[in-house]
Amino acid sequence: MTRIRLLILAATAFLPGCASLPRPSPPSAAVRVTFDRDRILSVEARGAGADDPVRIASISKLIVGLGVMRLVEAGTLDLDRDVSGWLGYTLRNPAFPDRPITLRLLLSHRSSLTDQVDYAIPLGRTVRDTLADPKAWDAEHAPGTFFRYGNINFPVIASVMERATGERFDRSMARLVFTPLGIDACFNWTTCSDASVARAVTLRDGKGTVLRDALRGRRPACPVLALGPECELSQYRPGDNGALFSPQGGARISARGLARIGQLLLRGGDGLIAPAAIAAMLGPEWVFDGGNGDTEGGFWCAYGLAIQTLAASPACRNDPVGDGIKRVGHSGEAYGLRSGLWIDRRRGRGVAFFVTAVPDDAPRSRSGFTRVEEALVR
Protein backbone atom coordinates (compact mmCIF):
# COMPACT_ATOMS: atom_id res chain seq x y z
CA MET A 1 0.00 0.00 0.00
CA THR A 2 1.43 3.41 -0.94
CA ARG A 3 2.25 6.07 1.61
CA ILE A 4 -0.28 8.43 0.02
CA ARG A 5 -2.99 5.79 0.37
CA LEU A 6 -2.08 5.28 4.01
CA LEU A 7 -2.41 9.00 4.69
CA ILE A 8 -5.79 9.14 3.04
CA LEU A 9 -6.93 6.15 5.08
CA ALA A 10 -5.55 7.81 8.20
CA ALA A 11 -7.82 10.76 7.54
CA THR A 12 -10.89 8.77 6.53
CA ALA A 13 -10.48 6.57 9.59
CA PHE A 14 -11.99 9.47 11.56
CA LEU A 15 -15.20 9.36 9.58
CA PRO A 16 -18.22 7.41 10.84
CA GLY A 17 -18.24 3.81 9.73
CA CYS A 18 -14.56 3.72 8.77
CA ALA A 19 -12.33 0.99 10.11
CA SER A 20 -9.43 1.71 12.42
CA LEU A 21 -6.04 2.01 10.81
CA PRO A 22 -2.65 0.59 11.77
CA ARG A 23 -0.12 3.30 12.50
CA PRO A 24 1.36 4.36 9.14
CA SER A 25 5.04 4.43 8.30
CA PRO A 26 6.80 6.84 8.16
CA PRO A 27 5.46 8.23 11.44
CA SER A 28 2.61 10.65 10.90
CA ALA A 29 -0.02 12.24 13.09
CA ALA A 30 -3.61 13.26 12.51
CA VAL A 31 -5.94 14.90 15.01
CA ARG A 32 -9.53 16.07 14.50
CA VAL A 33 -11.69 17.91 17.05
CA THR A 34 -15.29 18.95 16.46
CA PHE A 35 -17.05 21.50 18.64
CA ASP A 36 -20.05 23.74 19.06
CA ARG A 37 -20.34 27.03 20.91
CA ASP A 38 -20.17 25.44 24.35
CA ARG A 39 -18.41 22.09 24.25
CA ILE A 40 -16.12 19.69 22.48
CA LEU A 41 -18.25 17.23 20.53
CA SER A 42 -15.66 14.67 19.44
CA VAL A 43 -11.93 13.98 19.49
CA GLU A 44 -10.24 11.57 17.07
CA ALA A 45 -6.47 11.12 16.96
CA ARG A 46 -3.72 8.98 15.50
CA GLY A 47 -0.05 9.46 16.36
CA ALA A 48 -0.65 12.58 18.52
CA GLY A 49 -3.15 13.83 21.07
CA ALA A 50 -5.70 16.63 21.03
CA ASP A 51 -3.58 18.57 23.53
CA ASP A 52 -0.28 18.14 21.67
CA PRO A 53 0.97 21.41 20.13
CA VAL A 54 2.02 21.57 16.50
CA ARG A 55 3.33 24.31 14.25
CA ILE A 56 -0.09 25.07 12.82
CA ALA A 57 1.10 27.05 9.74
CA SER A 58 -1.13 29.78 8.30
CA ILE A 59 -3.95 29.43 10.83
CA SER A 60 -1.44 31.53 12.79
CA LYS A 61 -2.61 34.48 10.71
CA LEU A 62 -6.14 34.24 12.11
CA ILE A 63 -4.71 34.15 15.64
CA VAL A 64 -2.60 37.24 14.89
CA GLY A 65 -5.74 38.92 13.61
CA LEU A 66 -7.34 38.41 17.03
CA GLY A 67 -4.36 40.08 18.68
CA VAL A 68 -4.57 43.03 16.30
CA MET A 69 -8.28 43.48 16.98
CA ARG A 70 -7.69 43.53 20.72
CA LEU A 71 -5.19 46.36 20.22
CA VAL A 72 -7.63 48.16 17.93
CA GLU A 73 -10.33 47.95 20.58
CA ALA A 74 -7.88 49.30 23.17
CA GLY A 75 -7.16 52.30 20.93
CA THR A 76 -3.52 51.25 20.51
CA LEU A 77 -3.94 50.50 16.81
CA ASP A 78 -6.23 51.69 14.03
CA LEU A 79 -7.14 49.53 11.04
CA ASP A 80 -7.22 52.46 8.62
CA ARG A 81 -4.26 54.55 9.70
CA ASP A 82 -1.05 54.63 7.67
CA VAL A 83 1.26 52.14 9.40
CA SER A 84 4.25 54.35 8.65
CA GLY A 85 3.47 56.35 11.78
CA TRP A 86 4.07 53.30 13.99
CA LEU A 87 6.97 51.89 12.03
CA GLY A 88 8.94 55.12 12.13
CA TYR A 89 9.61 55.15 8.39
CA THR A 90 7.49 55.63 5.29
CA LEU A 91 6.15 52.35 3.95
CA ARG A 92 5.07 52.66 0.33
CA ASN A 93 4.85 50.65 -2.85
CA PRO A 94 7.42 52.54 -4.97
CA ALA A 95 5.09 52.31 -7.99
CA PHE A 96 2.28 53.99 -6.00
CA PRO A 97 3.99 56.39 -3.58
CA ASP A 98 0.79 58.27 -2.75
CA ARG A 99 -1.14 55.19 -1.53
CA PRO A 100 -0.76 54.51 2.21
CA ILE A 101 -0.48 50.99 3.59
CA THR A 102 -2.88 50.20 6.45
CA LEU A 103 -3.45 47.28 8.79
CA ARG A 104 -6.75 46.59 7.01
CA LEU A 105 -4.87 46.12 3.74
CA LEU A 106 -2.14 44.02 5.34
CA LEU A 107 -4.58 41.72 7.14
CA SER A 108 -6.62 41.19 3.96
CA HIS A 109 -3.63 40.62 1.62
CA ARG A 110 -4.43 43.74 -0.41
CA SER A 111 -1.34 45.74 0.54
CA SER A 112 0.42 45.06 -2.80
CA LEU A 113 3.24 43.25 -0.96
CA THR A 114 4.36 39.97 -2.52
CA ASP A 115 6.30 36.90 -1.47
CA GLN A 116 8.95 37.52 -4.10
CA VAL A 117 11.22 38.37 -1.17
CA ASP A 118 12.09 36.08 1.73
CA TYR A 119 9.68 36.67 4.60
CA ALA A 120 11.88 34.62 6.98
CA ILE A 121 14.11 37.49 8.09
CA PRO A 122 16.94 36.51 10.46
CA LEU A 123 17.99 38.15 13.68
CA GLY A 124 20.16 41.19 12.96
CA ARG A 125 18.27 42.16 9.82
CA THR A 126 15.16 44.29 9.53
CA VAL A 127 11.79 44.23 7.84
CA ARG A 128 12.54 47.71 6.55
CA ASP A 129 15.60 46.53 4.64
CA THR A 130 13.68 43.60 3.19
CA LEU A 131 10.87 45.82 1.93
CA ALA A 132 13.37 48.18 0.30
CA ASP A 133 13.80 45.51 -2.38
CA PRO A 134 11.52 46.42 -5.33
CA LYS A 135 10.66 42.72 -5.73
CA ALA A 136 8.67 42.97 -2.49
CA TRP A 137 6.02 45.00 -4.29
CA ASP A 138 3.42 44.46 -6.99
CA ALA A 139 4.20 47.20 -9.50
CA GLU A 140 1.00 46.64 -11.46
CA HIS A 141 -1.67 46.93 -8.77
CA ALA A 142 -2.08 49.75 -6.26
CA PRO A 143 -2.67 48.99 -2.58
CA GLY A 144 -6.33 48.19 -1.94
CA THR A 145 -7.14 47.18 -5.52
CA PHE A 146 -5.94 43.59 -5.77
CA PHE A 147 -5.79 40.47 -3.57
CA ARG A 148 -2.60 38.45 -3.57
CA TYR A 149 -2.01 36.09 -0.66
CA GLY A 150 1.35 36.96 0.85
CA ASN A 151 3.07 35.76 4.01
CA ILE A 152 5.21 38.91 4.04
CA ASN A 153 2.23 40.97 5.21
CA PHE A 154 2.40 39.44 8.67
CA PRO A 155 5.98 40.32 9.61
CA VAL A 156 4.93 43.91 8.84
CA ILE A 157 1.84 43.53 11.05
CA ALA A 158 3.95 42.07 13.85
CA SER A 159 6.42 44.95 13.52
CA VAL A 160 3.56 47.44 13.86
CA MET A 161 2.29 45.61 16.95
CA GLU A 162 5.75 45.72 18.50
CA ARG A 163 6.27 49.41 17.80
CA ALA A 164 2.82 50.31 19.13
CA THR A 165 3.17 48.29 22.36
CA GLY A 166 6.93 48.33 22.93
CA GLU A 167 6.62 44.60 23.51
CA ARG A 168 8.03 41.64 21.61
CA PHE A 169 5.45 40.02 19.33
CA ASP A 170 5.55 36.58 20.97
CA ARG A 171 4.92 38.10 24.39
CA SER A 172 2.12 40.33 23.11
CA MET A 173 0.32 37.35 21.61
CA ALA A 174 0.55 35.47 24.89
CA ARG A 175 -0.85 38.46 26.78
CA LEU A 176 -3.56 39.35 24.27
CA VAL A 177 -4.84 35.96 23.14
CA PHE A 178 -3.41 32.76 24.60
CA THR A 179 -3.37 33.59 28.32
CA PRO A 180 -6.87 35.11 28.55
CA LEU A 181 -8.31 32.15 26.63
CA GLY A 182 -6.50 29.65 28.84
CA ILE A 183 -4.65 28.09 25.90
CA ASP A 184 -1.14 26.71 26.40
CA ALA A 185 0.14 27.95 23.03
CA CYS A 186 2.91 30.19 21.77
CA PHE A 187 4.90 31.44 18.82
CA ASN A 188 8.23 29.62 18.32
CA TRP A 189 8.01 27.93 21.75
CA THR A 190 9.01 30.95 23.85
CA THR A 191 5.92 31.27 26.07
CA CYS A 192 4.63 27.68 26.05
CA SER A 193 4.86 25.67 29.27
CA ASP A 194 7.49 22.99 29.74
CA ALA A 195 4.70 20.40 29.60
CA SER A 196 3.62 21.73 26.22
CA VAL A 197 7.18 21.62 24.89
CA ALA A 198 7.41 18.00 26.02
CA ARG A 199 4.37 17.13 23.87
CA ALA A 200 5.57 18.88 20.70
CA VAL A 201 4.50 17.24 17.44
CA THR A 202 7.41 16.66 15.06
CA LEU A 203 6.82 17.73 11.46
CA ARG A 204 7.97 15.39 8.68
CA ASP A 205 7.67 15.35 4.94
CA GLY A 206 5.96 12.61 2.94
CA LYS A 207 9.13 10.49 3.05
CA GLY A 208 9.42 10.69 6.82
CA THR A 209 12.30 13.17 6.90
CA VAL A 210 12.16 15.39 9.98
CA LEU A 211 11.59 19.03 9.01
CA ARG A 212 10.73 20.89 12.22
CA ASP A 213 10.24 20.57 15.97
CA ALA A 214 12.00 17.32 16.87
CA LEU A 215 12.42 18.82 20.34
CA ARG A 216 12.66 15.69 22.52
CA GLY A 217 11.33 17.68 25.45
CA ARG A 218 13.79 20.57 25.14
CA ARG A 219 13.15 24.09 23.95
CA PRO A 220 15.10 25.21 20.88
CA ALA A 221 18.46 26.71 21.77
CA CYS A 222 17.48 29.69 19.63
CA PRO A 223 13.75 30.34 19.09
CA VAL A 224 14.33 32.58 16.06
CA LEU A 225 16.17 32.39 12.76
CA ALA A 226 19.80 33.44 13.27
CA LEU A 227 22.61 33.69 10.75
CA GLY A 228 25.25 32.22 13.06
CA PRO A 229 25.67 30.68 16.50
CA GLU A 230 24.83 33.92 18.30
CA CYS A 231 21.22 34.30 19.42
CA GLU A 232 21.18 37.40 21.60
CA LEU A 233 17.57 38.55 21.86
CA SER A 234 18.13 40.84 24.84
CA GLN A 235 19.41 43.54 22.49
CA TYR A 236 16.52 43.22 20.04
CA ARG A 237 14.51 46.41 19.58
CA PRO A 238 10.78 45.64 19.17
CA GLY A 239 9.54 46.67 15.75
CA ASP A 240 12.77 46.14 13.83
CA ASN A 241 11.97 42.62 12.71
CA GLY A 242 8.45 41.32 13.27
CA ALA A 243 9.38 38.21 11.28
CA LEU A 244 11.47 36.78 14.12
CA PHE A 245 8.68 34.81 15.77
CA SER A 246 7.04 33.68 12.52
CA PRO A 247 3.67 35.49 12.74
CA GLN A 248 2.70 34.11 9.33
CA GLY A 249 2.83 30.48 10.43
CA GLY A 250 4.75 29.86 13.66
CA ALA A 251 2.00 29.44 16.25
CA ARG A 252 2.39 26.21 18.24
CA ILE A 253 -1.07 25.18 19.35
CA SER A 254 -3.03 21.99 19.86
CA ALA A 255 -6.18 20.94 18.03
CA ARG A 256 -8.12 21.50 21.26
CA GLY A 257 -6.60 24.98 21.50
CA LEU A 258 -7.71 25.68 17.94
CA ALA A 259 -11.20 24.53 18.88
CA ARG A 260 -11.18 27.13 21.67
CA ILE A 261 -10.38 29.79 19.06
CA GLY A 262 -13.24 28.47 16.94
CA GLN A 263 -15.62 28.70 19.89
CA LEU A 264 -14.59 32.33 20.40
CA LEU A 265 -15.59 33.02 16.78
CA LEU A 266 -18.90 31.17 17.17
CA ARG A 267 -19.66 33.14 20.34
CA GLY A 268 -18.98 36.49 18.69
CA GLY A 269 -15.82 37.23 20.64
CA ASP A 270 -16.70 35.45 23.89
CA GLY A 271 -16.20 38.59 25.98
CA LEU A 272 -12.57 38.91 24.92
CA ILE A 273 -13.30 40.80 21.70
CA ALA A 274 -16.44 42.73 20.85
CA PRO A 275 -18.93 41.13 18.43
CA ALA A 276 -18.42 44.06 16.05
CA ALA A 277 -14.70 43.31 15.89
CA ILE A 278 -15.37 39.65 15.08
CA ALA A 279 -17.84 40.74 12.40
CA ALA A 280 -15.17 43.02 10.93
CA MET A 281 -12.70 40.13 10.81
CA LEU A 282 -15.21 37.88 9.07
CA GLY A 283 -15.96 40.54 6.47
CA PRO A 284 -15.26 39.68 3.81
CA GLU A 285 -13.02 42.58 2.82
CA TRP A 286 -12.42 41.09 -0.61
CA VAL A 287 -14.53 38.93 -2.92
CA PHE A 288 -13.21 37.79 -6.27
CA ASP A 289 -15.04 39.50 -9.15
CA GLY A 290 -13.20 37.90 -12.01
CA GLY A 291 -10.19 40.20 -12.13
CA ASN A 292 -9.45 41.80 -8.75
CA GLY A 293 -7.13 39.16 -7.34
CA ASP A 294 -5.03 36.07 -7.74
CA THR A 295 -7.17 33.14 -6.60
CA GLU A 296 -4.40 30.56 -7.08
CA GLY A 297 -6.66 28.35 -9.12
CA GLY A 298 -9.84 29.15 -7.23
CA PHE A 299 -8.50 28.47 -3.73
CA TRP A 300 -8.89 32.10 -2.57
CA CYS A 301 -12.21 33.70 -3.48
CA ALA A 302 -13.23 35.68 -0.38
CA TYR A 303 -11.14 36.96 2.50
CA GLY A 304 -11.71 39.13 5.56
CA LEU A 305 -9.20 40.35 8.13
CA ALA A 306 -7.01 37.23 8.40
CA ILE A 307 -10.05 34.99 7.84
CA GLN A 308 -10.90 33.00 4.71
CA THR A 309 -14.42 32.24 3.48
CA LEU A 310 -15.03 28.93 1.71
CA ALA A 311 -17.58 28.25 -1.03
CA ALA A 312 -18.08 31.97 -1.68
CA SER A 313 -18.85 31.35 -5.34
CA PRO A 314 -19.67 28.35 -7.55
CA ALA A 315 -16.68 29.40 -9.66
CA CYS A 316 -14.31 28.74 -6.75
CA ARG A 317 -12.58 25.45 -5.96
CA ASN A 318 -12.47 25.85 -2.18
CA ASP A 319 -15.44 23.86 -0.92
CA PRO A 320 -13.82 20.79 0.67
CA VAL A 321 -17.15 19.38 1.85
CA GLY A 322 -19.05 20.03 -1.37
CA ASP A 323 -22.23 21.25 0.32
CA GLY A 324 -22.02 24.93 -0.65
CA ILE A 325 -21.93 26.15 2.96
CA LYS A 326 -19.85 29.30 3.47
CA ARG A 327 -17.58 28.14 6.26
CA VAL A 328 -15.09 30.63 7.67
CA GLY A 329 -11.70 30.14 9.26
CA HIS A 330 -8.28 29.41 7.81
CA SER A 331 -6.20 26.68 6.25
CA GLY A 332 -2.56 25.86 6.87
CA GLU A 333 0.17 24.16 4.86
CA ALA A 334 3.89 23.93 5.64
CA TYR A 335 6.61 21.37 6.36
CA GLY A 336 4.43 18.40 5.41
CA LEU A 337 1.51 19.59 7.56
CA ARG A 338 -2.04 20.39 6.46
CA SER A 339 -4.35 22.03 8.94
CA GLY A 340 -7.73 23.67 9.14
CA LEU A 341 -10.00 25.60 11.49
CA TRP A 342 -13.47 25.96 9.99
CA ILE A 343 -16.77 27.03 11.51
CA ASP A 344 -20.30 26.83 10.17
CA ARG A 345 -21.96 29.84 11.76
CA ARG A 346 -25.45 28.80 10.66
CA ARG A 347 -25.26 25.46 12.48
CA GLY A 348 -23.06 26.75 15.28
CA ARG A 349 -20.46 24.03 14.81
CA GLY A 350 -16.84 23.75 13.75
CA VAL A 351 -13.87 21.49 13.21
CA ALA A 352 -10.15 21.87 13.97
CA PHE A 353 -7.64 19.43 12.55
CA PHE A 354 -4.11 18.77 11.46
CA VAL A 355 -2.31 15.95 9.68
CA THR A 356 1.44 15.58 9.20
CA ALA A 357 3.73 13.86 6.68
CA VAL A 358 1.50 14.79 3.74
CA PRO A 359 3.44 14.56 0.44
CA ASP A 360 3.75 17.72 -1.62
CA ASP A 361 1.99 15.93 -4.46
CA ALA A 362 -0.85 14.56 -2.34
CA PRO A 363 -3.90 13.91 -4.57
CA ARG A 364 -6.77 16.34 -4.87
CA SER A 365 -10.30 15.76 -6.10
CA ARG A 366 -13.20 18.17 -6.33
CA SER A 367 -11.58 21.14 -4.54
CA GLY A 368 -8.24 22.86 -4.18
CA PHE A 369 -7.75 20.96 -0.91
CA THR A 370 -6.12 17.56 -0.72
CA ARG A 371 -8.26 14.48 -0.23
CA VAL A 372 -6.81 14.16 3.26
CA GLU A 373 -8.13 17.62 4.16
CA GLU A 374 -11.48 16.95 2.53
CA ALA A 375 -11.86 13.87 4.73
CA LEU A 376 -10.87 15.64 7.94
CA VAL A 377 -13.01 18.76 7.48
CA ARG A 378 -16.30 16.84 7.29
Query: Which residue from 223, 41, 74, 246 is spatially nearest to 157, judged by alpha carbons?
Result: 246
Q: How confident is the model at residue 5 (pLDDT cuts 50, 70, 90)?
A: very low
Q: Mind listing the pLDDT tens digit for each residue in 13-32?
A: 443 333 333 344 467 999 99
How far apart are alpha carbons 112 and 134 in whole angstroms?
11
% of the chain surpassing 70 pLDDT: 93
Domain of 331: which CATH number? 3.40.710.10
Residue 226 pLDDT exceeds 60: yes
pLDDT of residue 378: 85
Mean pLDDT of 329-343: 98
Contacts of 278 (CB under 8 A, 6+ apart): 69, 264, 265, 268, 269
Domain count within the chain: 1
**3-state helix vs strand vs coil in the chain, percent to 5:** 25, 15, 55
pTM score, whole prediction: 0.94
Q: What is the pLDDT of residues 272-282, one digit of tens each?
A: 999 999 999 99
What is the pLDDT, as a whole number, of residue 26?
A: 60
| Domain limits for position 166 | 3-377
